[in-house]
Amino acid sequence: MAKKNYQNICDAIATISPFIRFVGVIGENGNLEAYKRRAELIPLLDEKKTQYQFSHIAMKTDLEGFFNKNLGEVEFVWEERKKVQTISFAIKKPRVWISIDKKVIRSEVLRIIDSCLPIVKKNS
């Protein structure tokens, strides 16, 4: 898939909710292929730790492949942390990774997930 399509995915997802902090497409090697960050946002991770996070996502994606035959492919992963919430979606090997403000009610996160699924599936 072309980087332009990845950017279109990021742009479309970023408009779903004002609580979305960051949307990125992470390649199978952990490279950031495209992204959209909310204006004037201070990132929680520095550049080095961000690269570690993306590498972790790529490795985790590879490992999940071992279970796909038995459990089915991962549709999304929702992670709640003390400072932020993250959701990741699979687009074949690449992942769409989204961070969301921590103080968002769960129904809004579910709305974001439900709004992202058709965008991701259209591009898978």
Domains of the chain: 3-122 (3.30.450.30)
SS3 percent helix, strand, coil of the chain, rounded to 5, is 45, 25, 30
Tell me: pLDDT of 59 over 80. no
pLDDT bucket at 3, cuts 50 / 70 / 90: low
Q: Which of 34-38, 64-68, 86-90 has the lowest mean pLDDT?
A: 64-68
Enter the pTM of the model. 0.85
- The larger pLDDT score, comparing residue 26 to residue 65, is at 26
Q: Is 31 helix (H, G, I), strand (E, B) or coil?
A: coil
- The larger pLDDT score, comparing residue 74 to residue 57, is at 74
Question: Mean pLDDT: which of 7-11, 35-39, 59-63, 87-91 is highest?
Answer: 7-11
Tell me: pLDDT of 100 over 90. yes
- Helices 106-122 and 3-14 pack at an angle, to 10 degrees, of 150
